Amino acid sequence: MAKTYDYLFKLLLIGDSGVGKTSILFRFSEDAFNISFISTIGIDFKIRTIDLDGKKVKLQIWDTAGQERFRTITTAYYRGSMGIMLVYDVTNEKSFENIKNWIRNIEENASADVEKMILGNKCDLDSKRQVSKERGEQLAIEYQIKFVETSAKDSLNVEYAFYTLARDIKAKMEKKQEASNPPGGRSGAHQLKANEPQRKPTSWLSRCSVL
């Protein structure tokens, strides 16, 4: 079967229940918004192929249930993800505070070099805002993670967020590729993908042993 893409990236949306993960995904994959979404039970994913600097990049984006209780199940799907969107709701202080917990959750369950990005969603609801943009930026600096405020409803920065994350993954991938391959190497997306899981235990374990 002919390959319809150059790269396949697995991305993950995580964050508290009701912050708008499914809405962000729906906006990105269907360019639509529906006020009466249903809560996500279990896990699902959507696909969108984007064009990035002349390469076709297929994004497989996983959407998870947010409630803490389901984490033992949802973390099973972290494996192999190359990029993670950490989502909070600017109108919900608690969801912002929990970003730290989600980051810890990633460190425990995802590949150590996974690309991350923090999204402050529902920025259209300015009257209900509880978390300022500055606090979001401050948190991002603290963790050295890119940050953007989004609105799935108004289609603000959603495209930008996914393109940015995908571009960062692609850059990282190509950098590794150059390092491991002598100049003139062919496109090695799959080769790199295969290497990915093997790297995880070492980096993760070494971190453990330091602790």
Partner 1 sequence: MSTSSVDEIPDQSKDLFTQDGVLLKNCVGRPVTDLNSIGMLCIVQNADGTKCVEWRPNDLITIDSDTQDQEWAVVNTVGRRQRTLSGNMTSDYATLRARIIKIPLEELKTFKVTRNNQQMQFSTKQGVWQTTFYFQHGNAEIFVAYLKNHVKTAKTRHDRNTYVVVEPNVESQVLNRSFAELDIFTENTTDVVWNLVSNFKQRPYETTLEAFSKLTDIVYYGNEGLNGKRDVSEEVADLLTKSMSAMEDATTITKNEEYEVVSVKPTLPPRPCIPRGTPLSTEKWDALQDKDGRITEVEGVKQLIFRGGVAHSIRQSVWKHLLDYYPWQMSHSEIRAHQKKKTEEYFSMKLQWRSMTEGQESRFSEYRDRKSLVEKDVNRTDRTHPFYAGDNNPNLVVLQDILMTYVMYNFDLGYVQGMSDILAPLLLLLGNEVDSFWCFVGFMEKIASNFDMDQAGMKHQLLQLQQLLMFASPDLAQHLAQKDSGNMYFCFRWLLVWFKREFSHIDIMRLWEVLWTGLPCANFHLLICVAILDAEKDVLISKDYGFTEILKHVNDLSMSLDVDRILSTAEGIYHQIVSAPHLNDQIRIILGMEPLNMANSAHSGNSDRQEAGTSRTQTNGNETRTNGNEHTGPFGQDIDEVMYQIGLDMNF
Contact residues toward partner 1 (CB under 8 A) are 17-18, 36-39, 41-45, 60, 65-67, 69-70, 72-73, 76-77, 92, 94
Instruction: Map tokens 């799959």 to a residue.
Output: 190
Strand 83-89: give its sheet, edge to edge: 43-52, 55-64, 7-15, 83-89, 115-121, 146-149
Q: How far is the CB of 145 from partner 1 (least distance, A)?
A: 25
CB of 38 to partner 1, least distance (A): 5
Calpha distance 84→61 (Å, rounded) = 9
**Closer residue to partner 1 (CB): 20 or 136:** 20
CB of 10 to partner 1, least distance (A): 9
- In the bound state with partner 1, the residue whose beta carbon lies nearer, of 17 and 155, is 17
To partner 1, the closest distance from the beta carbon of 200 in angstroms equals 16
CB of 49 to partner 1, least distance (A): 15
Q: Within 10 Å of residue 75's Cβ, how many Cβ atoms?
A: 16
Closer residue to partner 1 (CB): 66 or 136: 66
Relative to beta strand 43-52, strand 55-64 is antiparallel
The residue (of 130 and 164) whose beta carbon lies closer to partner 1 is 130
Per residue, the 3-state secondary structure of 36-101, as one string, reads CCCCCCCEEEEEEEEEECCEEEEEEEEEECCCHHHHHHHHHHCCCCCEEEEEEECCCHHHHHCHHH
Q: Which is nearer to partner 1, 73 or 205 (CB)?
A: 73
Cβ 86 vs Cβ 67: under 8 Å = no
Which amino acid, residue 65? A
Q: Residue 39 CB, nearest distance to partner 1 (Å)?
A: 5
Q: Pick between residue 18 and residue 188 the one whose CB is nearest to partner 1.
A: 18
